[in-house]
Amino acid sequence: MGVVGGDVSDPVRVGIVGCGAISGAYLKFSREFPILQIEACSDVDQDKARQRALEFEVPRVCSVDEVCHDPSIEIVLNLTVPRAHAEISLGAMAAGKHVYSEKPLAVSIEEGNEILTATRQKSLRVGCAPDTFMGAGFQTARKLIDDGAIGRPVAFTAFMMCPGHEHWHPNPQFFYESGGGPMFDMGPYYLTALLNFFGPIKRIGGAASIAISERTTLTGAKISVQTPDHVCGTIEFQSGVVGTIITSFATRFPQYETAQPITIYGSEGTLKVPDPNHFDGMVHIRRKDDSEFQVVPSPFHTGYGRSVGLAEMAYAIRAGRPHRAGAEQALAVLEAMEGFLESSKTGRAIEPQSSYERPQPMPHEPLWLSE
């Protein structure tokens, strides 16, 4: 990764809650941003907190409560499992902290609304993963759509189809609980990208199933699947774009291009969009007179990793402007994900109730130079 710059004389101090698998990525990439100072690690399992603190030279290991009540800490970084997200985020806000949470924002719309209410009542920030939409691939695709490069956007397809995370994750139970499943786990990457492309959602429909009801972990333990492991949805955006999303933990040998799992069809051409679980990756375009797809060079910074959303929120706090990976966006994602499951049960279309506005595009230069 590149050399960082920027004169940030007043870094934002961050305390981590949840030192499992994904915490390593945050601890690694947060070093890129001089605005971030990771001050403390905590976890219900103190050994995990100690291990991460040692590995990344974090000054302190604390209890969750100590992190939330430490006056030097401004942002609590919530990297716990989905079912704990709302409790930890609300607890941190009750103690006066801004929060940046891993996805999903919460496991129900009620919890999500509680978080939104708390941010407004307490004038605190909540940011939420994914932040991959800030990467060069998605910003490039969004710019092409906004510039009219494919004419009027008409349709999209978005696919994430795999056999399930128990094949690699050391502790995969939560992927098969309520608040897990392929839509709650992987849907946020796709839905956040789609919201950034097309704006607010008008209506959605869904169909879902539990296709493989028992899973075996790497250690041979059995998991009983509690939530649909195969979820299909249709989305109608207010802009008129209509498309399909399929997320599955029950399928093998995908037949779409896994490096470009989203396709956007417009009246004048088609875009192939990179994997929204990553930041960069190539965008291809074919306009109506082209004989084949061509790579689109990106004017945006490449090389961001997990923590750019956190850093962008920290810069926004210091600058007093809105941050991009906002709670409203995460709530719009949550409403869509829950809507697919609800529609699958009732057979009815769902109209989201929350309001959503696309965040500003990212600057072309790295954040640490533009802030």
Ligand X SMILES: NC(=O)c1ccc[n+]([C@@H]2O[C@H](COP(=O)([O-])OP(=O)(O)OC[C@H]3O[C@@H](n4cnc5c(N)ncnc54)[C@H](O)[C@@H]3O)[C@@H](O)[C@H]2O)c1
Residues that bind ligand X (CB under 6 A): 17-22, 43-45, 48, 64, 79-82, 84, 88, 102-103, 171, 185
User: Minimal CA–CA distance to 82: which of 194, 181, 207?
Assistant: 181
User: Minimal CA–CA distance to 298: which of 238, 363, 364?
Assistant: 364
Question: Which C-beta is closer to ligand X: that of 21 or that of 218?
Answer: 21
Retrieve residue 321's tokens. Answer: 């402007």
Q: How far apart are CA 94 and CA 87, in angstroms?
A: 10
Q: How far apart are CA 169 and CA 107, in angstroms?
A: 20
Sign of the torsion formed by the C-alpha atoms of 163, 309, 327 and 128:
positive
Retrieve residue 173's tokens. Answer: 């139970």
Question: Which C-beta is closer to ligand X: that of 237 or that of 304?
Answer: 304
Question: Which C-beta is closer to ligand X: that of 64 or that of 262?
Answer: 64
Instruction: Find the shortest distance in angstroms from Cβ 123 to ligand X.
Output: 25
Instruction: Find the shortest distance in angstroms from Cβ 292 to ligand X.
Output: 34
Question: Which C-beta is closer to ligand X: that of 20 or that of 137?
Answer: 20
Q: Which amino acid is at 307?
A: S
Question: Which C-beta is closer to ligand X: that of 35 or that of 88?
Answer: 88
Residue 344: Cβ within 10 Å count: 18
Q: How far apart are CA 330 and CA 324, in angstroms?
A: 11
Instruction: Find the shortest distance in angstroms from Cβ 102 to ligand X.
Output: 4
Give backbone dihedrals phi and psi of 100, rounded to 5 degrees, phi first.
-125, 125
Question: Which C-beta is closer to ligand X: that of 17 or that of 313?
Answer: 17
Instruction: Find the shortest distance in angstroms from Cβ 267 to ligand X.
Output: 35
Instruction: Find the shortest distance in angstroms from Cβ 313 to ligand X.
Output: 17
336 neighbors 352 (Cβ within 8 angstroms) = yes
Q: Where are the beta strands (DSSP E) in 198-333?
A: 201-209, 214-216, 222-224, 230-237, 242-248, 262-266, 269-273, 283-287, 294-296
Question: Which C-beta is closer to ligand X: that of 48 or that of 97?
Answer: 48
Residues β-bridged to residue 245: 158, 233
130 neighbors 279 (Cβ within 8 angstroms) = no
Instruction: Find the shortest distance in angstroms from Cβ 241 to ligand X.
Output: 27
Strands 60-61 and 36-42, by their bridges, are parallel
Instruction: Find the shortest distance in angstroms from Cβ 228 to ligand X.
Output: 17
153 neighbors 145 (Cβ within 8 angstroms) = yes
Instruction: Find the shortest distance in angstroms from Cβ 296 to ligand X.
Output: 27
Q: How far apart are CA 141 and CA 134, in angstroms?
A: 11
Question: Which C-beta is closer to ligand X: that of 221 or that of 319?
Answer: 221
189 neighbors 278 (Cβ within 8 angstroms) = no
Instruction: Find the shortest distance in angstroms from Cβ 51 to ligand X.
Output: 10
User: Whose CB is nearest to ligand X?
Assistant: 20
Question: Which C-beta is closer to ligand X: that of 84 or that of 367?
Answer: 84
